[in-house]
Amino acid sequence: MRRPTMTLDPQVVAYRAARAAAGVPPLYTQTLAEARAADLAAIRAGGGDVEPVHEVRDTVVPGPAGDLPVRVHRPAGAGPLPTLVYFFGGGWTLGSVDTADGICRRLANATGCQVVTVGYRLAPEHPFPAAVHDCHAAVRWLAAYAEQFGADPARLAVGGDSAGGNLAAAVTLLARDSGGPALAAQLLVYPNTDQRERAEPAGEQDPLLFNRHSVAWYRGHYLPDPADAANPLASPLLAEDLTGPAAGPGDHRR
C-alpha cells in the first residue's frame, strides 16, 4: 500500500532551507565533536527569546557512575507540584540540559508542572545501557527526595523527545520491574521505540535532515553490539509486557 504524501510544516521548511544555505553537512559525515557543536549552535540559533519561568536552578543527583547534572524549571505555585522528569533528545550522543532548556521552560509554563532535565551520560563514550541507568537513578532519587525538590511524588512523570522519549519508555519499564518509583504518566514525543534495522523507501530519505544514514550513525554510537537492539531497554516496543502508565498525547510509536 502506498503511503500518503505528507507536507512539511513551514517552520521545518524554513529550517531546512537555512541549513542548506549555510552549507551544513549531513550529520553522518561529521565527526562527533563537529556534530555536538553544530547541534548546540542550531538550537541556540533557532531558540528565539528565552521564555522566563518562575525559578530555574542547577544541581546534581547521584548516578551509577557519579553525580548527574539536573536543571529544575519551576513555575509559580505553592506546595508540592506535579513533576515531569524530562530526557533530552539527540540520538543518545548529542544534547545536554542546555539544549533542552527552551522546551523545558515552555513545558513548565504551559502545564504548571515542575520540569526537571537530567544530564545523562552520552554515547559513544558511554554506550547502552548507561543512559537508561542514569535516567532511572535520577528518577528514583527525585522520588525519594521529592520534598527537597518541591515535588509531589504521587504526580511524578517521565518524558522526552526522540532518544529522550526512548529513554522515558525504557525507564518506565525499568521502574515497573525493579521496585519503582511509581510513575503517573509518560510523555513520549516522537520516540524511537524499536532499534531493529529495517528497509525504508528511498523516497522517504532526506539527505539533509534525517535518513537511514543518520539513524545508523546514532545507532552505531549507542549500540555498538547490534544484538542489544533486541533488548527492551533499547527497544521498549519489544517488551513482552507493556502495561504501565499511559503515554501522553505526544506519543508516536514506530
Handedness of CA 194, 121, 99, 209 (dihedral sign): negative
Residue 60 within a domain = yes
Q: Does 14 fall in a domain?
A: no
Cβ(214)–Cβ(189) below 8 Å: no
Query: Does the residue 122 lie in any domain?
Result: yes
Give all strands of the β-sheet with 81-87 in edge-to-edge order. Answer: 55-63, 66-74, 114-118, 81-87, 151-161, 185-189
Query: Is 59 within a domain?
Result: yes
Contact predicate 107/164, CB 8 Å: no
The verdict on pTM exceeding 0.85 is yes
CATH number at residue 99: 3.40.50.1820
Domain housing 128: 31-194+208-238
Query: What is the residue-level pLDDT of the chain in tens, covering all 254 positions?
Result: 566 677 888 988 887 888 788 888 888 999 999 999 988 887 777 666 789 999 999 999 999 999 999 999 999 988 899 999 999 999 999 999 999 999 999 999 999 999 999 999 999 999 999 999 999 999 999 999 999 999 999 999 999 999 999 999 999 999 999 999 999 999 999 999 999 987 665 545 676 777 888 999 999 999 999 999 999 999 999 999 999 887 765 543 33
Q: What is the DSSP letter of 79?
A: S
Number of domains in the chain: 1
Number of Cβ within 10 Å of residue 206's Cβ equals 12
Residue 244 inside a domain? The answer is no
Q: Count other Cβ atoms within 10 Å, centred on residue 215.
A: 18
- Residue 202, domain member (yes or no): no
**Does the residue 38 lie in any domain?**
yes
Q: Is residue 157 part of a domain?
A: yes
